[in-house]
Amino acid sequence: MAGGVSRAKHLAPPLYLLVLAINLVLFLAPNGYLLQRGYFEVVAFRRLDAAAARVVRNRLAGRIFLAGVVTGGLFALPLVNLLAPIIATAFMVYVFEASPRVEPLPAARSTV
């Protein structure tokens, strides 16, 4: 019986670290996704129509998701979260403006 308790005592710290890492991922991933969508739409709709903004969001999905994860981390910090909306908007403007421009497709003309 004492041997089982001793083994459990040695397994507990790595298990706690694993649970911490899983909780961090489960917190940042969905919050990052939701925050990036909201802040990207705020920035993109000022410059593009809805269809073009959707195309740009799909093209830059990875970069925008990482920006959302960073933003989610800012919202988790006490006192920093008071300035996080301003920082997140400025960061998303930077991500949007730094993205390469895509030429719009020419409108289809009728030959009738």
Extents of the domains making up the chain: 29-98
Average pLDDT over residues 17-44: 88
How much is the pLDDT for 25?
A: 86
Q: What is the pLDDT of residues 81-90, one digit of tens each?
A: 999 999 999 9
- N-to-C CA span, the chain: 89
Is the confidence at residue 91, as pLDDT, over 90?
yes
Burial (CB < 10 A; 0-12, 13-18, 19+), residue 74, is middle
Query: 0.95 exceeded by the pTM?
Result: no
pLDDT value, residue 100? 76
- Mean pLDDT over 51-67 rounds to 90
Extract the tokens encoding 79.
Answer: 């006192």
CB 95 within 8 A of CB 59: no
Categorize the per-residue pLDDT at 1 as very low, low, confident or very high, splitting at 50, 70 and 90.
low
105, two tokens: 């497709």
